[in-house]
Amino acid sequence: MQNTFTLQPFPSFQAPANLKITGNIARHDNLLTISYNLLGNIQQVNIAPPETPQRKNELWQDTCFEFFLGAKNSPSYWEFNLSPAGHWNIYRFDNYRQGMQEETAFTTLPFDVKHNSDSLDLTFDVKLDKIISTDQPIEVAITTVIKSMNGDVSYWALSHKGAEPDFHLRESFVMKLAQLT
């Protein structure tokens, strides 16, 4: 079963006008598939050109598609960062913003990016077997950081639960996915 989503900008930050971020997410046999669609006047978004993909830190400083994944009833979670340039990283946390370390179970993280005049599409598949067992239900927060051409940054998520943008808040992991066969 595929779940569709629409991300909302954090209310007190200036988001570029006429942008929309939608997509879908599914989990089948522990394969997680996510696609993001950035639609609208994307010329106002600072989008890094494609490069040779590498694991890089602090991708969230620029336009970055992200999701946070945790096993139900566990305080630990993972942060996945995907740059339109092709760069990536995964961090593991023991608890809310504690024990951050690169997740070494993954050495590559391929994904596809299609850049059109009025949209950017990012599609990503990952086998979760290295970090989550097939029978564990997962909770996901789908997020995006948008950096505009003028340097303004806006924070987009399924749900904003804090007084400030904070993708790490576990109550923001609102998408619930059991394994489907």
pLDDT digits (tens, 9 = 90+) for 110-135: 999 999 999 999 999 999 999 999 99
Closest of 87, 84, 93 to residue 37, by C-alpha:
84
Low-confidence ranges of the chain (pLDDT < 50): none
Contacts (Cβ under 8 Å, ≥6 apart) of 69: 32, 77, 78, 80, 128, 132, 138, 139, 140, 173
> What is the per-residue pLDDT for 1?
62
Cα–Cα distances in Å, from 83 out to 57, 106, 135, 155? 11, 16, 30, 15
| Domains of the chain listed by start with CATH number | 2-177 (2.60.40.1190)
Contacts (Cβ under 8 Å, ≥6 apart) of 178: 27, 137
Average pLDDT, the chain: 94
> What is the per-residue pLDDT for 15?
83
**Its pTM surpasses 0.85:** yes
